[in-house]
């Protein structure tokens, strides 16, 4: 089991880290979340019921949402507002490359309800039905959120950039 777990961690850690980061916007918190997901995964004993990637993504999303509701997170936000200099956390190349990209910056500015389907659809390459299942909402809601997210993102790009991205 240990060798299998290591292989699963190697294959999925980077995308789970990126996914958690898009929720919590903090590298260290994202790393903690992914670590907790793998601990929970190793303790549960996964039964093959579908795609492992979708299952791990669901665990990561749930844990990220729990973190955003936690007192620890709220305390950090308060500290960042009171002491903005201390909020400057070093970031590694994975996170920097996402944030440096114009698209990544625009996605991070979206509200969570719009950010989720965009990340799952474009970054995780999930189908609408899979996203609906992972988020626990109906497919039409996923479509509506994707449409509204695209509309919100469109304002961040010039017309030419938007057309290059395959929209319009």
Cα separation, 80 vs 2, whole angstroms: 39
CA separation for the pair 147, 15 (Å, rounded): 24
- For 1-88, give the CATH class: mainly alpha
| pLDDT category of residue 129 using cuts at 50, 70 and 90 | very high
Would you list the domain boundaries of the chain? 1-88, 101-162
Instruction: Output the average pLDDT for the chain.
Output: 78
Say if residue 160's pLDDT is above 60. no
CATH number of 101-162: 1.10.10.10
Give the model confidence (pLDDT) of 29-72 as tens digits.
899 999 999 888 888 776 666 688 888 888 898 998 888 888 77
């Amino acid at each position: 089991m240990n060798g299998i777990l290591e292989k699963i961690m190697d294959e999925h850690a980077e995308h789970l880290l990126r996914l958690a980061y898009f929720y919590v916007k903090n590298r260290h918190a994202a790393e903690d979340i992914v670590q907790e997901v793998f601990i929970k995964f190793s303790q549960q004993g996964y039964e093959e019921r579908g795609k492992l990637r979708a299952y791990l993504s669901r665990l990561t999303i749930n844990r990220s949402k729990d973190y955003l509701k936690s007192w620890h997170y709220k305390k950090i936000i308060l500290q960042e507002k009171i002491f903005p200099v201390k909020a400057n956390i070093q970031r590694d190349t994975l996170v920097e490359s996402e944030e440096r990209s114009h698209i990544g910056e625009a996605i991070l500015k979206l509200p969570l309800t719009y950010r989720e389907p965009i990340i799952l659809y474009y970054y995780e390459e999930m189908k609408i039905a899979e996203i609906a299942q992972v988020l626990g909402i109906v497919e039409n809601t996923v479509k509506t959120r994707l449409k509204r997210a695209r509309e919100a993102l469109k304002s961040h790009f010039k017309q030419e950039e938007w057309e290059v991205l395959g929209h319009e």
